[in-house]
Structure 1
Amino acid sequence: MVDHSSPPRPPLSTASLIARLAGIGAVVAVMAGAFAYVNGSLDPQRLRPKTLVDALETNNGVHPGFRRNHAKGVCVAGYFESSAEARVYSRAEVFSAARTPLIGRFALPSGNPYAPDSSVPIRSFAVQFSLANGQQWRTGMNSMPVFPVGTPEAFYQMLKAGAPDPATGKPNPANMSAFFAAHPEAAPFLAWVKTARPSASYATETYNGINAFYLVSAEGKRQAVRWGVVPQIQDAAGETAPAGADFLEKDLVQRLASGPLRWQLNMTLANPGEPLEDASKPWSGEHKVLNAGTLVLQSSQPQADGDCRDINFDPLILPSGIEASNDPLLAARSAAYASSYLRRAGEVSPLHTAPAESKP
Structure 2
Amino acid sequence: MVESSNPEPTARQDGSRYALSNLFRTSMLPRLALIGVVLLALAGAFAATAGWLSPQRLTPEKIVARFEEYNGVHPGFRRNHAKGVCVSGVFESSGEGAAISRASLFRPDASVPVFGRFALAGGNPFMADSPAAVRSLALNFALPDRELWRTGMNDIPVFPVKDAQGFYDFLAATRPDPKTGKPDPAKMEAFLKAHPEAPAALKLITGRQMAEGFADATYNSLNAFEFVDAHGTETPVRWSVMPVDPPKPDAAPEEGENYLFDALAGELESAPLRWRLVATVGEPGDSTSDPTIPWPDGRRKVTLGTLTLDRVEDEEHGPCRDVTFDPLILPDGIASSDDQILSARSAAYAVSFREREGETKEPSAVEIANPGSDAK
Give the TM-score, by structure 2 length: 0.79
Per the alignment, in what secondary structure is the counterpart of residue 89 of structure 2? strand
Residue pair 1:78, 1:298 contacting (<8 A) in 2 also: yes
Are positions 1:95 and 2:106 aligned together? yes
Are positions 1:80 and 2:101 aligned together? no
Computing the radius of gyration from Cα coordinates, the structure with the larger value is: 2
Are positions 1:54 and 2:89 aligned together? no
Alignment match, 2:374: none
Are positions 1:259 and 2:271 aligned together? yes
228-237 or 246-255, which deviates more: 228-237
Alignment match, 1:324: 336
Per the alignment, in what secondary structure is the counterpart of residue 138 of structure 1? strand
Question: Which aligned runs of 4 or more in structure 1 are off by greater than 4 angstroms?
Answer: 166-170
Residue pair 1:261, 1:298 contacting (<8 A) in 2 also: yes
The Cα shift of 1:193 comes to 3.6
Alignment match, 2:31: none
The Cα shift of 1:46 comes to 2.6
Residue pair 2:63, 2:168 contacting (<8 A) in 1 also: yes
Aligned pairs, number: 316
Per the alignment, in what secondary structure is the counterpart of residue 81 of structure 1? strand
Alignment match, 2:123: 111
What is the alpha-carbon distance in structure 1 between the residues aligned to residue 49 and residue 313 of structure 2? 33
The C-alpha deviation readout for 1:312-347, integer Å capped at 9, x for no partner, is 000000000000001000000000000001111111
Alignment match, 1:289: 301
Q: Which amino acid aligns with 2:192?
A: F
What is the alpha-carbon distance in structure 2 between the residues aligned to residue 349 and residue 164 of structure 1? 28
Residue pair 2:87, 2:311 contacting (<8 A) in 1 also: yes
Per the alignment, in what secondary structure is the counterpart of residue 316 of structure 1? coil
The Cα shift of 1:139 comes to 0.3
- Distance change in 2, residues 1:61/1:119 (3 Å): farther
- Distance change in 2, residues 1:195/1:274 (3 Å): closer
What is the alpha-carbon distance in structure 2 between the residues aligned to residue 169 and residue 256 of structure 1? 36
Alignment match, 2:152: 140
Are positions 1:149 and 2:158 aligned together? no
What is the alpha-carbon distance in structure 1 between the residues aligned to residue 154 and residue 252 of structure 2? 18
Alignment match, 2:235: 223
Per the alignment, in what secondary structure is the counterpart of residue 77 of structure 1? strand
What is the alpha-carbon distance in structure 2 between the residues aligned to residue 205 and residue 40 of structure 1? 38
Per the alignment, in what secondary structure is the counterpart of residue 339 of structure 1? helix
Structure 2: 5+ residue runs without aligned partners?
1-45, 366-376
Q: Which amino acid aligns with 1:141?
A: M
Per the alignment, in what secondary structure is the counterpart of residue 51 of structure 1? helix
Q: Which amino acid aligns with 2:90?
A: Y
Alignment match, 1:6: none
Q: Which amino acid aligns with 1:78?
A: G
Residue pair 2:91, 2:113 contacting (<8 A) in 1 also: yes
What is the alpha-carbon distance in structure 1 between the residues aligned to residue 166 and residue 362 of structure 2? 35
The Cα shift of 1:92 comes to 0.5
Per the alignment, in what secondary structure is the counterpart of residue 329 of structure 1? helix
- Distance change in 2, residues 1:224/1:129 (3 Å): same
What is the alpha-carbon distance in structure 2 between the residues aligned to residue 288 and residue 198 of structure 1? 24
The C-alpha deviation readout for 1:212-233, integer Å capped at 9, x for no partner, is 0000011111100000110022
332-341 or 284-293, which deviates more: 284-293
Give the TM-score, by structure 1 length: 0.83
Identity of aligned residues (%): 46
- Distance change in 2, residues 1:103/1:238 (3 Å): closer
The Cα shift of 1:47 comes to 1.1
Structure 1: 5+ residue runs without aligned partners?
1-36, 354-360
- Distance change in 2, residues 1:198/1:155 (3 Å): same
The C-alpha deviation readout for 1:167-202, integer Å capped at 9, x for no partner, is 556532332243224433123322224434754321
- Distance change in 2, residues 1:305/1:177 (3 Å): farther
What is the alpha-carbon distance in structure 2 between the residues aligned to residue 228 and residue 86 of structure 1? 14
Residue pair 2:211, 2:248 contacting (<8 A) in 1 also: no
Q: Which amino acid aligns with 2:298?
A: E
Once the two structures are superposed, the pairs formed by residues 1-360 of structure 1 within 5 Å of their partners are 41-42=50-51, 43-44=53-54, 45-96=56-107, 98-118=110-130, 120-165=132-177, 171-196=183-208, 199-351=211-363
Residue pair 1:118, 1:243 contacting (<8 A) in 2 also: no
Residue pair 2:286, 2:295 contacting (<8 A) in 1 also: yes
Q: Which has the higher contact order (CA 8 A, sep 6+)?
A: 1
